Amino acid sequence: MKKSLFAIALVCGILSLNATSAKAEISQRTLQSFHSVFAEAKHVKWMEFPDHYLVSFSQNDVLVKASYDRDGNLLNSIRYYKEQRLPLNILCKVKKENPNRNIEIVTEVSNEEGVVYFIQLKDKKGWTILKSDASGNLELTDKFQDANR
């Protein structure tokens, strides 16, 4: 797990180094597309890459990261939120199958293939991460023990 986290941090760092200034010239088409969907966005930060833009912001207590191509098309998004925003069919199934675990955070990944939810659960023993599709089909993706136990 530590290797996975290190690899993700390394990739994010490399991407940040390849990005140009947050004060980059964002195309008018991209800005219009962004504001038409995320009119209530706050704390907006843009990064420019050679072939796309990455924007991070918050909206309605949800942290969002989204990628746009140069023509203003949304490529993908990642949203981080609490269990209350999880679709009810998924929430009910997770709660039913994991009655002694608390949902700590949900990571929703959307792209052209659809939406996937990564649900981080915690109990006395440690952490569990479940993956769910929009239909509520659950799959265990990771599990690790609390090092202090």
Residue 140 or 23, more confident: 140
Retrieve residue 67's tokens: 């990628």
**Domain spans of the chain, in order of start:** 1-59, 82-149
CA 137 to CA 45: how far, in whole Å? 34
Would you say domain 82-149 falls under CATH 3.10.450.360? yes
CA 139 to CA 31: how far, in whole Å? 37
State the amino acid at position 103 in one-letter form. Answer: I
SS3 label, residue 21: coil
The answer to whether 120 touches 103, Cβ cutoff 8 Å, is yes
Query: Which residue from 24, 78, 16 is spatially nearest to 48, judged by alpha carbons?
Result: 24
Residue 97 pLDDT > 70, yes or no?
yes
- Listed range (14-28, 107-121, 128-142) with the worst mean pLDDT: 14-28
